[in-house]
Chains A and B, each alone.
Chain A
Amino acid sequence: MDFFHTIIALLESTIRVSVPLIFAALAGLFTERAGVFDIGLEGKMLGAAFAAGAVAAVTGSVTMGLLAAVLISVLLSLVHGYASITQRGSQIVSGVAINFVVAGSTVILGEAWFRQGGRTPALSGDARFQTITFPFAEEMRDVPILGPIYSNLLSGHFLLTYLAFAMVPISWWILYRTRFGLRLRAVGENPGAVDTAGISVIWMRYRAVICCGILCGFAGAYLSLAMNAGFVKGMTAGKGYIALAALIFAKWRPVNIMLACLLFGFLDAFAIRLQGNPLPFIGQVPVQLMQALPYILTVVLLAGFIGKAIPPKAGGIPYVKER
């Protein structure tokens, strides 16, 4: 029974750390499926987390914080879009630049506005997301097996957590069952054909980039309003890149993305729990190896040793209408 409780606790923290990955990876899915590579997921998430933390601290309202996060993230996405779609600049340079600018300016602005060493003031009460407890969670707790699963694993998460998991089928539906999704995927595979059909490639890609901004905004808001009580400098700590890895690992498909994010989140949660404890049968495993595993797995996948990851055909290439 003790073992069972450990598993439940492990899975619960897996869910908690996977949520920003799922949002960010789905955000990347929208742009990359439309043919715009996005290395700037990290920067957008960080910018959104800062905006959410700052606005929620000033207004005391979690809704305003969330809106600010989405707004900033969409603005950053539009900058990326302007540089790489309209100006046909290098998408990679633009993404790297966004990461740099955000990492620097969140520290400067945070220090200038709040004077807490780059942090925003700690949030409490209405300024922060509250966990949602399902009905009968308390009464169910003592039921064997099902009880802990219901009351610890399924209940007691933030609204954004449920939204993240809901976004997986929603994204699938948008991409595979709507006209918008069909066109979006077509723009990433063969923009010339979409253009011939009389649809603006530029506008399509801009809309994809805006979708990415909204989802990155959720990811950032989750970090500073739900998972933590406020913004800490550099709090994304490479999550944007893990999300990118998950996106590739999932071969650019929504359901696979959720599974990849859960796997990477599980590795993260497992590494934290493992700290110094030996594994049965294997013995001592360095924590660093667990932390590096998502990246190693992605490289192995990219190398084509386990399946083949084929990116959208027109990814990374700016569209030129006239030749």
Chain B
Amino acid sequence: MSNPYAKLPGWAEYGLIPLINLVVAFLVAGLVVLLVGENPLDAAYHMINGAFGRGEYIGFTLYYATTFIFTGLSVAVAFHAGLFNIGSEGQAYIGGIGVALACLWLDQTMPWYIVFPIAMLGSIAFGALWAFLPGWLQAKRGSHIVITTIMFNFIASSLMVYLLTRVLKPLGSMAPQTRTFAEGGQLPKLDWLLSIFGLDIGNAPFNISFLLAILAAFGVWVLIWRTKLGYEMRTMGHSPSAARYAGISEPRIIIVVMMISGGLAGMMALNPIMGEQFRMQLDFVQGAGFVGIAVALMGRSHPAGIIPAAILFGMLYQGALKSRSKCRRSHAI
């Protein structure tokens, strides 16, 4: 496919266009608020105040942002290889099994700094497994990745309902969730990080998985722009035929990329499970996988763009919860 448009200069491609998109999205959202009969400026003020007005609010905003960084990175890695992974939602959901198993196994005997790496490996393994199947099907059987990942989201959802109502639920309990983890299954908060800036974290569940998310973002940058695998991925994303001609094994790249993508999505489960609820609940992902698509698109699939985009979406989530006049429109970008 030849490109019908001339290439824009870098500053316009990466700075101006996202900015214009954002402004348009806010204008459209403002129109909806007007339609509903409220003052859009008031709504915007309440939203920004609700997201940044207090140390606690900032903690919540960054807590949501952590989740979106993981799913955004997950979608972005697949994008670079020309794959559209809509399944981050399901992969994050299944990744939760790895986190929950590690916590249920070790939380009473081990401190968090032992449980955390094991839970992380568990989440990566389960997330990657759930992405491996669609990847394998695309690579070896030619089934379209978009469709299979959508199907896998629904299969994951049914599987998790089954596990949480029959297998992982403690005896005698009615609620579809695991037992609450002991000390070892709870991540420490990042109150010290906020207190450097003189902010009080309050009840916000902002925890150390944020640092892991930043680390993962750096890791993705190294992977994509500084390794052989990343080079092969980008080659395939740009031109599959060129990749084939250069002797790059297409099935191998597809499967590996999908597993990396699934692993990143799976790590997202650490944040709500070990950082906020201290147990695995039904539907804990809450659409974060789909928000990841928007975050990756807005961040232009670059980690340096994904982090601010994730913080923006975290702000929208937290601000919307606080101000009640929900501003979901910006998903439309």
Contact = CB atoms under 8 A, between A and B. Distances in A.
Taking residues whose C-beta sits less than 8 angstroms from the other chain, chain B's interface range is 35 or more
A169 interface: no
Interface residues of A, number: 40
Contacts of A92: 84, 86, 146
B173 interface: no
Interface string B118-138: 000000000000000000010
A311 interface: yes
B326 A104 contact: yes
Contacts of A298: 147, 151
B293 interface: yes
Contacts of A107: 326, 328
B162 A101 contact: no
A241 B162 contact: no
Contacts of A303: 137, 141, 143
B162 A304 contact: no
Given A96-B290, A105-B328, A295-B151, A88 B4 contact: yes
Contact of A101 (B146, B155, B159, B329): B329
Interface string A106-119: 01110011000000
B225 interface: no
Contacts of B161: 288
A103 B326 CA distance: 12
Contacts of B144: 302, 311
Interface in B310-333: 325-326, 328-329, 331-333
A93 B293 CA distance: 8
Nearest to A37: B146
Nearest to A318: B1
Contacts of A96: 86, 290, 293
Contacts of A238: 154
Contacts, number: 104
A323 B1 CA distance: 9
B141 A304 contact: yes
Contacts of B297: 93
A86 to B, nearest CB: 12
Contacts of A295: 151-152, 154-155, 158
B32 interface: yes
Nearest to B328: A104
Contact of A105 (B32, B37, B154, B293): B32
A320 interface: yes
B166 interface: yes
A266 B84 CA distance: 31
Contacts of B290: 96, 100
10 closest A-B pairs by beta carbon, nearest first, are: A104-B328, A302-B143, A292-B158, A112-B36, A100-B331, A288-B162, A295-B151, A288-B158, A303-B141, A295-B154
Interface of B: 1-2, 4, 32, 35-37, 84, 86, 137, 141-144, 146-148, 150-152, 154-155, 158-159, 161-162, 166, 290, 293-294, 297, 325-326, 328-329, 331-333
